[in-house]
Structure 1
Amino acid sequence: MPRIDRSNLDLILLEDTVWVLVGKVDLPSYDFNLTQFFSCRRPWQRPEQITAIGRFGAVSNYAKLYAQLAAEGILLIHSPAQYLLASELTHWYPLIEGLTPKSLWFSTPPSFESVAQILGLPLFLKGSRQTSRHRASLSIIHTAAEYDRATEIYAEDPILQWQDLVCREFVKLRPVPSPPSEKIPASFEFRSFWWYGNCVGAGQYWSTNYDWNRDEQTAALAIAKAAALRLNLPFVVIDIAQTITGEWIAIECNDAQESGYGAVSPFAVWQNIITLESSRSASI
């Protein structure tokens, strides 16, 4: 993951309500020019200490960056501990166990037989934080040979080598139309953004043509809300999907500061945050 250059971060006050620390990532699914849609100021004077939402992509040195910004009077919306809780399966899984597939994690790869005995086959493999670009061959494991090959690649992959190895129960998800590729098959999966337990945006996760009806959305967001409330974080993303049997499960959690929007409307996310924060300020 890239290291953040503080000089490239722009601190703005959004609609005189929310501070945002912005850095361009050059990814259409992530970048959103707030200044084109909202009133944004860069006050030459500000309070000695403020809390800001970071929108500068994924970082490998969050704790260090947090301390550096805190010394300038800028507290990111998540402390380093909260960041880990939002980002790392090893931190969030114990809180949402039962809402998400059974998972085990290891600092070094366990034997294939021991994990297969507990979780069954196929296995779903990932890093404690993410997969490697959704590659199916490194994620969906049927045999010991596939497992050995995947763990060897994990040990050398620049994205995965620093993460704990996570083995998850493989749950069959409702498929959606998608062209054949080397990636994990697209499923009926959705991304949802939560601001202090309130849903501020939700939409399709995969870049293909599918959508939920009202009943499906209600059921999906009920699971996502339960996960968000258990985590009790300021700004979190919960990805949810429907199984082939019609149940809804949480796929994973992420720090919303570094999450792409998917098909979620970024305008709606920020407008809803502004509305919630304006109402909260008015009630104080």
Structure 2
Amino acid sequence: MLRAGEDLLQVEERLWVLSAPTGQGIYDFGFDRFFACRRPYQLPASLEVVARVGVWNDYEVRYRELAAEGVTLVHSPEQHLLATELPHWYPRLTDLTPRSVWFDERPDAKTVEAELGWPVFVKGERQTSRHRKSLSIIEGPAQFDAAMAAYATDPILHWQRVVCRELRPLRRVEEGAPDRIPSSFEFRTFWWRGALVGWGPYWWQGSPYTMTEAEQHEALGLGREVARRVDVPFLVVDVAQEVSGRWIVIECNDGQESGYAGVSPFALWRNILDLELKRSR
């Protein structure tokens, strides 16, 4: 049942976690270093599991494999797509996020210009390629054609559908490296069964920044509304502030696959465990 490197743990007798190291400090967390954990001698007939193994490119296959052994991932394949891919979550959030279009085949510049004009923000349906500015913030047709040529061979982007989004004026934190998307006033939020369990700066490695109490009220209120509309058990919502002061949704993700960014992983899992204790009573 377990693949190489995977470990199945019951954490604090409240939550089953399927974990595996990825080598990424922003993602990995040693559950048994911080919480009381046990490995099962014998599995119960059925159990629900949160996966923290990185990204499975064959999520549906893995879901079926585990289900055959009585292990149910916290997200069904349908919920995983809803949380992860923009074409699935965008229709529920059209009033909260920049206008977006996507294409099954890489589009030409004329098509994108007719839909959105210039400039545009371009990404894969799941993610960018290491936040590269030259492949994301596109000012005109020539740059777009060059980006599409790069998308065809990029190891992260070549298999994803192309998404083009209205480029909104975001409040900047810092410019960053020459070919990196500028750091905006953006925050990552984690939601467990609709409840907030963690938030922190998305651009956690640069200049420190945080929200005022009033900003928290608006930003986290937006995240809560997104969690209500998307309605999956473990959701990540990234929100950012425009220069006008308006808060918008940047993207959603499956909490099983998402890095912590500036969120404390210990506090995140402590909050989830506390919620699971309440559910069990």
Q: Please state whether the residue corresponding to 1:258 is helix, strand or coil.
A: coil
CA offset at residue 124 of structure 1? Answer: 0.5
1:69 aligns with 2:47: no
Sequence identity, in percent?
50
The CA distance in 1 between the partners of 2:161 and 2:107, in whole Å, is: 11
Choose which of 76, 85, 88 in structure 2 pairs with 1:88. 85
The CA distance in 2 between the partners of 1:179 and 1:126, in whole Å, is: 19
The CA distance in 2 between the partners of 1:33 and 1:110, in whole Å, is: 43
Q: Please state whether the residue corresponding to 2:56 is helix, strand or coil.
A: coil
| Structure 2 partner of 1:261 | 260
The CA distance in 2 between the partners of 1:151 and 1:52, in whole Å, is: 38
CA distance 1:179–1:168, shift in 2 (3 Å): closer
- Normalised by the length of structure 2, the TM-score is 0.96
1:224 aligns with 2:227: no
Name stretches of at least 5 consecutive residues in structure 2 with no aligned partner. Answer: none
CA offset at residue 121 of structure 1? Answer: 1.7
RMSD in angstroms over aligned alpha carbons? Answer: 1.3
Cα deviations by residue, 1:31-88 (Å, 9 ceiling, x for unpaired)? 0111111110112123111000000001211111111111111111111111111111
The CA distance in 2 between the partners of 1:5 and 1:52, in whole Å, is: 13
Q: Please state whether the residue corresponding to 1:57 is helix, strand or coil.
A: coil
CA offset at residue 95 of structure 1? Answer: 1.1
The CA distance in 2 between the partners of 1:91 and 1:118, in whole Å, is: 19
Q: Which runs of 4+ in 1 moved over 6 A?
A: none
| Structure 2 partner of 1:36 | 33
Cα deviations by residue, 1:163-203 (Å, 9 ceiling, x for unpaired)? 11101000011000354331100000000000011000000
CA offset at residue 224 of structure 1? Answer: 0.9
The CA distance in 2 between the partners of 1:48 and 1:8, in whole Å, is: 23
| Structure 1 partner of 2:114 | 117
2:152 and 2:158 in contact (8 A); partners too: yes
1:193 aligns with 2:173: no
Which residue identity is paired with 1:25?
T
The CA distance in 1 between the partners of 2:42 and 2:2, in whole Å, is: 23
Number of aligned positions between the proteins: 279
Which residue identity is paired with 1:226?
E
| Structure 2 partner of 1:210 | 209
The CA distance in 2 between the partners of 1:170 and 1:153, in whole Å, is: 20
The CA distance in 2 between the partners of 1:74 and 1:61, in whole Å, is: 16
Q: Please state whether the residue corresponding to 1:167 is helix, strand or coil.
A: strand
The CA distance in 2 between the partners of 1:273 and 1:202, in whole Å, is: 13
| Structure 2 partner of 1:235 | 234
CA offset at residue 157 of structure 1? Answer: 1.2
Name stretches of at least 5 consecutive residues in structure 1 with no aligned partner. Answer: none
Choose which of 138, 141, 147 in structure 2 pairs with 1:141. 138
2:174 and 2:182 in contact (8 A); partners too: no
The CA distance in 1 between the partners of 2:176 and 2:188, in whole Å, is: 21
| Structure 2 partner of 1:250 | 249
Which residue identity is paired with 1:103?
S
| Structure 2 partner of 1:152 | 149
| Pairs within 5 Å for 1:270-281 | 270-281=269-280
The CA distance in 2 between the partners of 1:177 and 1:225, in whole Å, is: 27
Q: Please state whether the residue corresponding to 2:184 is helix, strand or coil.
A: coil
Which residue identity is paired with 1:254?
N
Choose which of 173, 176, 181 in structure 2 pairs with 1:176. 173
Q: Please state whether the residue corresponding to 2:174 is helix, strand or coil.
A: coil
Which residue identity is paired with 2:122?
L
The CA distance in 2 between the partners of 1:5 and 1:212, in whole Å, is: 41
CA offset at residue 28 of structure 1? Answer: 0.6
Which residue identity is paired with 2:108?
S
| Structure 1 partner of 2:23 | 26
CA offset at residue 5 of structure 1? Answer: 6.9
Which residue identity is paired with 2:275?
L
2:175 and 2:181 in contact (8 A); partners too: no
